[in-house]
Structure 1
Amino acid sequence: MPITNGTVFMPSVLTFIGIPGLETIQCWIGIPFCAMYIIALAGNSLLLIIIKTEPSLHEPMYIFLAMLGATDIALSTIIVPKMLGIFWFHLPEIYFDVCLFQMWLIHTFQVESGILLAMALDRYVAICDPLRHTTILSQKLLIHIAVGVILRAAILVAPSIVLIKCRLKLYRTTVISHTYCEHMAIVKLAIEDVRINKIYGLFVAFCILGFDIIFITLSYIQIFITVFQLPQKEARFKAFNTCIAHICVFLQFYLLAFFSFFTHRFGAHIPSYVHILLSNLYLLVPPFLNPIVYGVKTKQIRDHVLKIFFSKNPS
């Protein structure tokens, strides 16, 4: 309900601008985003089908890859359809509570960092303690890791929703300069003191990204030490080759994450449309690239893809 100074009480409906400054060409920007979404759906779905139907791939490395594919499909689907509704069909409005729910879902399924940590653990055990690999990474532990990764994100982000609902009652506008419900984009709409919201947002980022990158880095340092101590060159190459795909995915994810984070926090003179585009690319590029990277770099996956598309049916 509007009040006299132009501010509003907690709104029932919010309106997305999309990409501020690029409104006139958003219909064209939607084309590559849609293409990325289609490729992400097709590529990750194919990975899931191959891993599910091929018994030889029912190993921890591929189970973690299946988890990554499933969460990538979920994350892309939470974001892209609404984004294309803004760009192509002039559907910018969203209920406030639905927006908060979308925000919670995005952070709940944005668990690539946790899965990469699980993959690093798998490679660490496989290379540094191969005889106990099957014993350590049992099916029970894999289930615990999968549930823990999702629950960690879901539980940590829930207080952000509570802080917005309970602390922020007055808003200067109902217009969000974004394409999806991003935490700081909502918080910045309020006219009240939002320092606690910002501090908690940084706390969540450190608890997830910061914690994971520290232990992923430590795992790969130990892996490299072990690999370079192997006596035979072929053994070193074979061990290192099993990590290449993980390292590529790790680098592209964290480079995008930190580039987006630092431009958002410290790039005061960077145009707002750059911030929005980077935020979108940070969430949408990994689901698009991951199946391509693993399909090219992982021989078992590549062989099964080639078998599906190029094997000749008996006449």
Structure 2
Amino acid sequence: MTQSFPDLDQQVFHQHRNLLFSVAYRILGTAADAEDAVQDAWIKWSAADRSLVADPKAYLARIVANLALERLRSTRYQRETYVGPWLPEPVLTDADTADTVADADSVSMAMLVVLETLSPLERAVFVLKEVFGFSHAEIAEAVERSEAAVRQAAHRAREHVQARRPRFAADRARQREVTERFLAAATGGDVNALMELLSPDVTLWTDGGGKVRQALRPVVGAATVAAWFAAIGTVPYQGVEPADMRVDLVEINGEPGMVFSGPGRVIATVTVELDADGRIITVHNVANPDKLQAIADGTARSLGTR
């Protein structure tokens, strides 16, 4: 008969909880679903015969990855029928996430958008292999597939991501500086200053989810995107007058970002991605209130990979 030590079991689980959320969030792209996967992992951990578990960290990571994969498959249709562009749910992150460029990039809004274009299996395999360093054999056990199938999925996913995610080292200080200047120009209604910061080919993606009015298609071109954001300083946004609007520069998904708030509520988040010349090439604007709860909670998460 196996002895159970609930306090110790809970302590072990809590020790790895941040890691489990980090795995689930990168696979799912939503904080609420990732939390649910972590809770389900706790239930499975509580029921398991832990005397047979040699490596609790790896065991728990495999459990949560499999649960996240199942959840991603079940939510796939909802995302395909979503009103307008589907963007990941933004989360506040702490300094630990940004300690390494690799950790920050793997959880950035831009990377999560690319991961959304993978199949559920490819996404889970990519996250476990490329981000968390699992072996093909460990992943095969986690996702309940053959090692050969995992290798194929890993190869497809890596090629897909490399083709859509240009690899250049974004200077963090430069990104913060550009984000600060963008914020000042937008809130000041300065179209010319915005134009200087934007690439001619800039694309703005807005996610209102049909809950608030947003562009249902990508907004393309510096002049159009500049006009869109310059209006923030001069006209009401989602019923909030410019004078009542608060904008904070914070850490979102491992990079500098902006949180727009009105009286008693978070209205939207904005993050920008720079091109090789240091100009803004992509803007992600999340305004669906269902996706702003993690930001509204105000808790900064550690989404590191250790």
TM-score, normalised via structure 2 length: 0.29
Higher helix proportion, which one? Answer: 1
Higher RCO, 1 vs 2 (CA within 8 Å, ≥6 residues apart): 1
Higher strand proportion, which one? Answer: 2
TM-score, normalised via structure 1 length: 0.29
